[in-house]
Structure 1
Amino acid sequence: MMVWYSERTTWTGRARADETTDMERAEAELSKGTSPFHKLGLSTAVFLRATLGFEKEVMEQAGARIAEAEEAATEHQRRAIKDRSTAHQSAIYPAGAEYALCHAESQLMAAVIGVLNESLTESLRGFYKLRKAFATLYELSEAEQKYLRSIGRSNATSQTSIVSSTDKLSSTGLQTPTEGSGVLTPANLSDSDDEGAFVDAEDGTTTHRHNGELTETDLEKLTLDDMSSKPNGGIGSSAPTTGAGATTATAFAQADADVDFRSITTDPIDLFIHSGVALCFGLLQLLLSMVPPAFAKLLSIFSFRGDREAGLRMLWSATKFKQNINGAMAGLITLGFYNGAIAFCDILMDDAVPEARLKNLLQEMRQLYPRSKLWLLEEARMLGAEKNLEQAIAITNDATPGGLKQIEALRRFERSLNCMYLHRYEECATGFIECVGLNSWSHALYYYIAGVCYVELYRAHKVNDPKAAAAYAEQAEENLHKVYSNVGKKGFMGRQLPFDVFVIRKLKKWDHRTKTQGCKFVDAVGVSPVAEMAYFWSGFKRMNEKQLLKHLQNLEWSEDLSLNPRWAQELADEKALQALLKATCLRFLHRVPEAKAMLSEGVLSHDLLQLKACDNADVWSIPVGHYEMAVCYWDEARGQHGDKVILQKCSDEIAKVEKSESYELEARVGLKVTTARETLRKCGVSSV
């Protein structure tokens, strides 16, 4: 027991030692141990590098490390079942629960790596691992709830939720977990029944191997029943469907909110298990609640659904344990969610972003990890959300060089985006080109944004400094045409990245216009592509009045016939795109009536088929135009307490986005749409 505690202390301390400059040291120290905790710590360190940088070789390394951690956890779990003296003796959890948690955390990481992998097969295998991890977390949370009830610390709300969840489980035909079983059996932790379940057929389709036979799998009919019918039973067959289990997660979150677990036990191992369950359950619920509408259909195959409020409550609860890896990760995820996602949504409840609480959390994390650049990055994002872009850049400038190249790439990426929003285009272009040497994930993105920055510089100098304009035109064409050789190198779930599809279409469009209009390539570029990129990266919300007016000026360049005589013959898709981006600027300038009029007349007056008829058409302006109109109604109603008639109009516009055809980069708007729908439901406004 003391040996185990010593090992756990070592890996927890080392893994939380500065995760940037000390990452290699942490990995070296963790490699010296062979316990599940050393292996989990090591796999977590490599996993962080993989998910921060998305490099294929690092993801492969992470996958191998995670597999080792899974195997070690399974073996130690078996040993704990045979001889309980080898495991932690807990009054709360079943024997070997600490190893079950290690296994579940490993499976969650494996699921993420699988989904980020370029193979659909690996993505599907990842979803199965996700479901199995959920099952383990479910049993651990049930053990906690049982213990709380036994000491009279579980309130009626959480008890009712658990009963409701159990009723749902019974109705699914699956067995509910047996209370008081006291063990998580070794069979439950074995992944042997998953190995080889999915293989890539020679024709590129995905097949499913079951009981030694190979049959075609119809993904539209694939359900969780495929797993519950497996012969080895255990957690996989006794756990809830993930949809039903969301109710259990809500109960667990409610118990977390009502009971500080530190008042229940001071045992560090029990607290480690509790914080780990809160972290993992919370992250699962949060991620599943953020799924864009298009991706939700695939996840529904696996009965996955989330509860954002429950997920956030659990993550906040886990941040109480800041000095272990679970608490540190929960803090990073919570700050990242608010600073990188919710902060840039438009239709939100008044209390959707707990600013004071977030600032306190960031301050505490900075004190605990003073050299970590990850917290500096979060502070820069927080400043950006407050429209303080200059200070956000100053913070990223102050970061000492060195450390993980993945963190350095993120720093330069964030700084370069802020330079773009400040119209410091030369710095922005230089920063993105530097990212090429730091990160292999999307060189096409880096070259594209650098290229369109040079387009904007060309336009700004075309009249007054033709020599400088010519140099910028050359740099624009050079960088934009590098995109062709850098797309298709990465994929997501077996498909080309959406951004790659987007930029290739744009480049083909401009190349075609160059030939048909007999102009230079840089003159064939359409409506301000920098403003377009700022929209997709939620940059308009970070800008103050001066910066927004500059974007309007850049957009109006296209309409000035003395500068751009081709505008008179411009096609409908470009004019709709122009109107959309101008309307968005007007909305952020609080000129909502003007924004609504421009959307109605310049965007939504067009028929989708009319736009599709254009060469290499930009058609995304129509669904996004409906979203922008919804935000205008939300602003017109003055938010959640506004006129219900106007809020219903907002909801009707969101429904039009939800029902629209798939469009490029919809995932970048999808979170805003999902958040808007959730907000309107809280306001008592129904969907159509």
Structure 2
Amino acid sequence: MFNISKHLRLPSLYRSDPAKQDAHFDENEYVSGLRKLMHGFDLMLNDDVSGTKETFNSDTVESCIGKAGNAFYHAILGLEPTAIEEAWNCLNTAEQRAEARRKFMEIHDLRVGSYPGGYEYQLCVCDLSLMQSILGFVAGSLFDNVKSAYHLRKTFLSFTKMMEHVREVQQKKETGEIQVTNSNAQFIDEFIESGISTGYGVLTFLISLLSPSVMRVLSFFSMHGERKDAVQLLWKATTYSNMQGAIALLCLYAFNALVQSSASIVPLDYADELRRCQDGIDNVRQRYSNGAIWAVMQGKLHYLRGDPEKALELEKTRVDTSMEQIIAMKGFDTAMLFVGIRKFKEAAQAILDLEDLNSWSHSFYRFFAGCCMLQHSRELKNNGGNIEESENYLAKAIEYLKQSPTLVQKKKRRVLPVEMYLVRKVQKWEDRAAKLKVNLADAMDIPPYIELIYIFVTWCLNDPEHLLILRSELERCQCTEDDGVALQEFLLAVVERHLKNYESSRARLIRVMNMNKDYLSQANRDFWILPSAHYEMAALEWDMHALEAEREVKQQLKKAQEYHNYDLEGRLSMLTQAALQTVQSEKP
């Protein structure tokens, strides 16, 4: 992704049309510049903010690209609107300058190593374009029109062609037809080969996760993404002991620890993939010993692999970094971990601490904290705890839950799906509280933290003890409206599936599917459980029969994809698409 590298100290390159520029070329100086740029990215991954800034402080093309890669890194970690906008502008400027340099190198056939002149810069242009696509994807604005799809198409076609060339060259190296002994050429070849493997792997992987509606647009441009091939490419790229290998590992971590950890349908070798990720991160930490992001990733993986004590130990350890994005990322993971081990008081504080670090969504932080405070209050009351503390937390929970919709920043950026969800939920509770003349907490049929677990902390459902607590709590809920009954049935079905009570889970899901669609689509009801019920039925079939139930699994997933215009649609769309790719990847 960030493999944008080169350092040509050729002043004439900046002044005139590429075709008319002086082709004076110093190979050693050129390669030295590339090494310096790669070193700058190494500093970035090692949290050396001042060192990175110093490396990229000139007005050269390579510094421009370095600044763009660094801006992207900060934006993707924090997901703050202002950082995303700044990174987008940097990437656009860098892409234009890299393209001009590519043309010059290609025209004069200035080459080092086994690849044509300008190949390094073609790679850089593609990487910069890919980074813009990723930012657009996470910001929700990438595919607003066909023009955006065409932009991604150019990147895809370029990467595809370059990947084919790399495979040809590597095959000739294996047969001895091409031999590279010069150190400069070896460095450039590795730069190109590792960069293209990583970039093409990331791009095809990203495409494999896109929703069917987006894929229909991309199909007009002959674009496709096979996750199995993408994952293999990325694992191969991790063998390079450079920044490219580290970025490939980051992508694999994002898939396995962020996407798949929220999924109900995972690969049959998921445990092995988590182990490979952890082994890879342990190895990378030897190169980037000061990089806090690697420590944060280690903590999350320990929990996913069944060691919450070790995970909590790592999450509680202070990270020595000046990057607030990583501190915020660690804080978010810590909050989720506390929910997973049922420490709701600590979870509330951990998520509230993010308000001073990150502007991603203060409305969500307040909503999440309110749900956790409410559960802490209830557990104190039910277990004979401090009554005064229970009442204080109850009052604070209600205050935060009511505040959360008012903090949605509609004018500054697009409203996030999770914000649409919380606005609807709070409005639903307030309407019901007014109708029943009770406080907000008493208007809730289902403890709201259980929904948060399903949406954000799915991985804690692998803990049998936690599951039994959830089942007991859900069974005690006195739901008086069909909407609440449907949500109760759905959440119990999820719990029963994880407890391997498959027939009970199936019966509950069928009852949810038979709910009146028009009824659930009215007012502020939980319509999202209808498509989610089909997704969970697919997961049930997968758990029971794996590939033997391929037809049934795909059928249920496609039914889930037929529902539209509900909050959390983006989340379920990604998970259903990932599930379809999982089924496809398991086939021999």
TM bucket normalised to smaller = 0.7 to 0.9
Among residues 616, 621, 626, which one is paired with 2:524 in the alignment?
616
1:1-12 residue pairs with structure 2 within 5 A?
A: 1-12=27-38
What is the SS of the residue equivalent to 2:153?
Answer: helix
1:457-606 residue pairs with structure 2 within 5 A?
A: 457-462=376-381, 464=384, 466-489=387-410, 495-541=414-460, 543-559=462-478, 567=479, 570-601=480-511, 603-606=512-515
TM-score by length of 1: 0.75
Separation in 1, partners of 2:544, 2:52: 53
Task: Check the 8 A contact 2:72/2:87 in 1, yes or no.
Answer: yes
* CA distance 1:144–1:363, change in 2 (3 Å): same
CA shift for structure 1 position 332: 1.3
CA shift for structure 1 position 20: 5.6
What is the SS of the residue equivalent to 2:269?
Answer: coil
1:101-180 residue pairs with structure 2 within 5 A?
A: 101-117=123-139, 126-147=148-169
* CA distance 1:627–1:79, change in 2 (3 Å): closer
CA shift for structure 1 position 389: 2.3
* CA distance 1:128–1:440, change in 2 (3 Å): farther
Quote the residue 1:607 is aligned against: 516
* CA distance 1:427–1:150, change in 2 (3 Å): closer
Quote the residue 2:265 is aligned against: 347
Structure 2 unmatched runs, 5+:
1-26
Among residues 537, 543, 546, which one is paired with 1:629 in the alignment?
537
Quote the residue 2:5 is aligned against: none
CA shift for structure 1 position 391: 1.9
CA shift for structure 1 position 366: 1.3
* CA distance 1:82–1:584, change in 2 (3 Å): closer
* CA distance 1:36–1:313, change in 2 (3 Å): farther
Separation in 1, partners of 2:198, 2:183: 18
Quote the residue 1:208 is aligned against: none
Separation in 2, partners of 1:140, 1:490: 42
Return the letter of the residue paired with 1:659.
Answer: E
Task: Check the 8 A contact 1:289/1:308 in 2, yes or no.
Answer: yes
Task: Check the 8 A contact 2:106/2:116 in 1, yes or no.
Answer: no
What is the SS of the residue equivalent to 2:238?
Answer: helix
What is the SS of the residue equivalent to 2:520?
Answer: helix
Task: Check the 8 A contact 1:94/1:143 in 2, yes or no.
Answer: no
Return the letter of the residue paired with 2:490.
Answer: L
CA shift for structure 1 position 409: 0.4
Quote the residue 1:193 is aligned against: none
What is the SS of the residue equivalent to 2:45?
Answer: coil
CA shift for structure 1 position 261: 11
Quote the residue 1:29 is aligned against: 55
Separation in 1, partners of 2:367, 2:221: 36
Tell me whether 1:454 sits opposite 2:373 in the alignment: yes
CA-to-aligned-CA distance 1:393-426 (integer Å, 9 cap, x gap): 2112114244200000000000100101111111
CA shift for structure 1 position 452: 0.8
Among residues 294, 303, 308, which one is paired with 1:384 in the alignment?
303
* CA distance 1:150–1:415, change in 2 (3 Å): closer
CA shift for structure 1 position 553: 3.3
CA shift for structure 1 position 137: 2.2
Quote the residue 2:3 is aligned against: none
Task: Check the 8 A contact 1:436/1:443 in 2, yes or no.
Answer: yes
Identity %: 25
Separation in 1, partners of 2:220, 2:372: 42
CA shift for structure 1 position 152: 8.0
* CA distance 1:461–1:399, change in 2 (3 Å): closer
Task: Check the 8 A contact 1:540/1:588 in 2, yes or no.
Answer: no
Separation in 2, partners of 1:683, 1:389: 29
Quote the residue 2:7 is aligned against: none
What is the SS of the residue equivalent to 1:370?
Answer: coil
Quote the residue 2:562 is aligned against: 659
Quote the residue 1:404 is aligned against: 323
CA-to-aligned-CA distance 1:350-375 (integer Å, 9 cap, x gap): 23553443333122111111121111
Separation in 1, partners of 2:179, 2:471: 51
CA-to-aligned-CA distance 1:196-223 (integer Å, 9 cap, x gap): xxxxxxxxxxxxxxxxxxxxxxxxxxxx
Task: Check the 8 A contact 2:46/2:289 in 1, yes or no.
Answer: no
CA shift for structure 1 position 27: 1.9
What is the SS of the residue equivalent to 1:597?
Answer: helix
What is the SS of the residue equivalent to 1:267?
Answer: helix
Separation in 1, partners of 2:500, 2:180: 46
Alignment coverage as a number of residue pairs: 558
* CA distance 1:531–1:334, change in 2 (3 Å): same
Separation in 1, partners of 2:108, 2:218: 39
Among residues 350, 362, 369, which one is paired with 2:288 in the alignment?
369
CA-to-aligned-CA distance 1:560-604 (integer Å, 9 cap, x gap): xxxxxxx3xx21111111111122112212222222233234x23
Task: Check the 8 A contact 2:534/2:556 in 1, yes or no.
Answer: yes
Which is richer in helix? Answer: 2
CA shift for structure 1 position 132: 2.5
Return the letter of the residue paired with 1:604.
Answer: M
Quote the residue 1:333 is aligned against: 251
Return the letter of the residue paired with 1:677.
Answer: L
Return the letter of the residue paired with 2:85.
Answer: E
Separation in 2, partners of 1:469, 1:444: 23
* CA distance 1:102–1:649, change in 2 (3 Å): closer
Return the letter of the residue paired with 1:75.
Answer: A
Quote the residue 1:88 is aligned against: 111
Separation in 2, partners of 1:500, 1:543: 27
Return the letter of the residue paired with 2:259.
Answer: A
Task: Check the 8 A contact 2:173/2:179 in 1, yes or no.
Answer: no
Structure 1 unmatched runs, 5+:
155-258, 560-566
Quote the residue 2:74 is aligned against: 49
CA shift for structure 1 position 21: 3.4
Separation in 1, partners of 2:166, 2:320: 45
* CA distance 1:282–1:260, change in 2 (3 Å): farther
Separation in 1, partners of 2:147, 2:359: 25
Quote the residue 2:573 is aligned against: 670
Task: Check the 8 A contact 2:489/2:508 in 1, yes or no.
Answer: yes
Quote the residue 2:39 is aligned against: 13
Task: Check the 8 A contact 2:261/2:458 in 1, yes or no.
Answer: no
Among residues 156, 170, 195, which one is paired with 1:276 in the alignment?
195
Separation in 2, partners of 1:453, 1:333: 31
Task: Check the 8 A contact 2:231/2:252 in 1, yes or no.
Answer: yes
Task: Check the 8 A contact 1:53/1:439 in 2, yes or no.
Answer: yes
Among residues 48, 51, 69, which one is paired with 2:94 in the alignment?
69
CA shift for structure 1 position 619: 1.3
* CA distance 1:435–1:388, change in 2 (3 Å): same
CA shift for structure 1 position 333: 1.1
Quote the residue 1:239 is aligned against: none
Return the letter of the residue paired with 1:431.
Answer: A
CA-to-aligned-CA distance 1:138-196 (integer Å, 9 cap, x gap): 33234334545767859xxxxxxxxxxxxxxxxxxxxxxxxxxxxxxxxxxxxxxxxxx
Task: Check the 8 A contact 2:208/2:581 in 1, yes or no.
Answer: no
* CA distance 1:69–1:360, change in 2 (3 Å): same
Task: Check the 8 A contact 2:98/2:121 in 1, yes or no.
Answer: yes
Separation in 1, partners of 2:294, 2:323: 14
Separation in 1, partners of 2:580, 2:144: 31
Return the letter of the residue paired with 2:361.
Answer: S
TM-score by length of 2: 0.87
Task: Check the 8 A contact 2:417/2:567 in 1, yes or no.
Answer: yes
Task: Check the 8 A contact 2:303/2:311 in 1, yes or no.
Answer: yes
